[in-house]
Structure 1
Amino acid sequence: MGQTARVSAFVWIAAASLAAWLWLLLCQGFFWRTDVRLPPLGNPLAGDPPEWPSVCVVVPARDEAVVLSSSLPSLLAQDYPGRAEVFLVDDGSTDGTGELARELARRHGGLPLTVGSPGEPPAGWTGKLWAVRHGIALARARAPEYLLLTDADIAHAPDSLRALVAAARSGGFDVVSQMARLRVESLWERLVVPAFVYFFAQLYPFRRIGRPGTRTAAAAGGCVLLRADTAERARIPDAIRHAVIDDVALARAVKGGGGHIWLGLAEQVDSVRSYPRLHDLWRMVSRSAYAQLRHSLLLLAGTVAGLALVYLVPPVAVVVGLVAANPAAAVLGALAWLVMAGTYVPMLLYYRQPLWLAPLLPFTAFLYLLMTVDSAVQHHRGRGAAWKGRTYARPDAVPDEG
């Protein structure tokens, strides 16, 4: 009797998982679609502005000599009809990042490059945002209309800046951001990276972000084109100076002030950073996962339960149903698993990955669950949000400025 009750209860759990997947499929902003992209240049929707505005590119960089040779020349080589220049901010590097940047500019030419250094960040600032603040201050002397905030590991196609500005002008956007196509070569990158973008889109459906009147706001920190006057009104980056997940905080600050933002997948913006080992990917995710949950144990518990219900229950239901000869559990689990895998296929196609990876999404979700729990453990041990030799306090532990 007890065994029958347990199996019946699992049928209801499997049914709840299927219901959750049907809701995600139809009611979560069609997050699984990958067609939110910048219109190509020459398209009437992205028509050239009558006059190309000036742009300053700000690149915060800390110990990035390994990737800089693959990324910085692409910025210097931008084919942009208006005035543009690059400001690379060396954030206390010990590997010669600043010197390498100057050498690359001498060797490749192109857009003017200024290398600055802000010194160590004061209390309450993350290193990246302190560097961004310094770069924006240098750029303001040029009075640009737009700022392009881009990471040191991001390579841009020659017409990337033109496409960003054209989209911002034609769409009336204060922020245009692209989720750079991350590197996917090693086995672990194939398993984890497309899922990382998939989970991000599930949390922040791109279609909702670009829709005025919605509360959903996010950006991708590797490529953010921002109106300079919008940055000033929203007090960027001062207003978000302690944010570990700075791109989402920036988007919320702009949208909360009435700004219009857009986020989509990139066609001509690529990350050149490699994450060949699981350990590398684990650190990338776990350093900010608990911050995403606002350092709340209650939200952590809810997230773990939600991940288990949505991603782990379907394959477990199939196994339990087959072992216990309960076709209802097996069928419900298989249907939920099928919907899950189907929603993952467009992201795998975008990343040009084999479709046999789609049924493995529960395994990848389990890895993310463990990474999230590890992020909380490291935080409560005093080692949370650590990156490149710095550990950041939770925002409510940082004294506010008067």
Structure 2
Amino acid sequence: MREQLISDYLRSMPSPACAYLYDLRHLQERSQRLRGALPPQCKLFYAIKANSDAPILDTLRHNLDGFEVASLGEIEKVRATDHKTPIVFGGPGKTDAELEGALKHSVMLIHVESEHQLRRLNWIAGRRRQAARVLLRLNPAALPGETRATLRMGGQATQFGIDEAQMPEMIALSQNLPNIRLEGLHIHALSNNLDAADHLALVRHYLELAQAWERRYGIRFSWLNAGGGIGINYADPATQFAWDGFCEGLHALLEQYRPGFKLIFECGRYISADCGCYVAEVIDIKTTHGKNFAILRGGSHHFRLPSSWQHNHPFTVFDRESWHYPFPRPGLTDADVTVCGELCTPKDTLARDVRVARLRAGDCLVFSLAGAYGWHISHHDFLSHPHPDRRYFNG
């Protein structure tokens, strides 16, 4: 986010400061750039689980090709913003109400994850006198090479997708159920991958699998959803996934394989992470057992990502000179500090042993890359602390 935007807001913010700030202009420009670099055969969808706030969705619906959702509630959030934007619907545990809601709200593609889910969808679509357009989610037998992705949903035993050995029966069943229209495959095997070359190899593998199924069964797919899985480097924010190089490789890959289907990429974190920051005031600074601690107004009940992923989240110090107490201001100079929240648990830690030039009670920490999986995965009401302010800026 732009430093001036943060600075202007923090100078007017009452103490104790605690807020999420979102830069919608930056989000608009970033999404346009990411989409524009892709080959024309590719579509860029936003996985709204990363941040489903209405201003975020309203910004992105004008600049991307659609949204990926994982619940009926998320479908309804999208439809509250736009009644016709394309939606793809994933998730291993779809209820009957969710499948019916997907049909009611004209979801473009439903990702089917099991035989039972497929049969239930066919039954529900039949009762509604509709045809359900589906992608079968494949859990591949293996993935190519090594990867530094932090999460794996495919190529091993997980709750996601259909075992590759079961795909022949699932394809045959899809073709025989009267209310199902098989449109292609969904293969989303990794999450938070930081290496563009590795991700390109993964997409190549997906293309080969899809084209092999087409040849084997004499069918033509319309879509291959290659998932998201492109990560954010929180340890080194200056070094991020090489999107432009990845897109150049995609151009060459599609020229080589010439698939008849279109590709969907359903990114979340990679699109919205750097449009937001989390700001929290330092309430106290103290030393126990030789270690320095900064205690925040806020913490993991607002911003759970660092404790969930067990990383030091990047932050900068915003100096606030106001000090209204009639006694000395606690602080540190050129020292390591562990940053903790206000909760009654040692797990409420956002960064450990980070060097700061100066930090004082009353200053604010600005956590960057907080526009995705921050507020939206947090346990907001634990201990009943006040929620942070949440502001959206557009220009």
TM class by shorter-chain length?
A: under 0.3
Instruction: Give the TM-score, by structure 2 length.
Output: 0.28
Instruction: Give the TM-score, by structure 1 length.
Output: 0.27
Q: Compare the two structures and name the one with the higher strand fraction.
A: 2
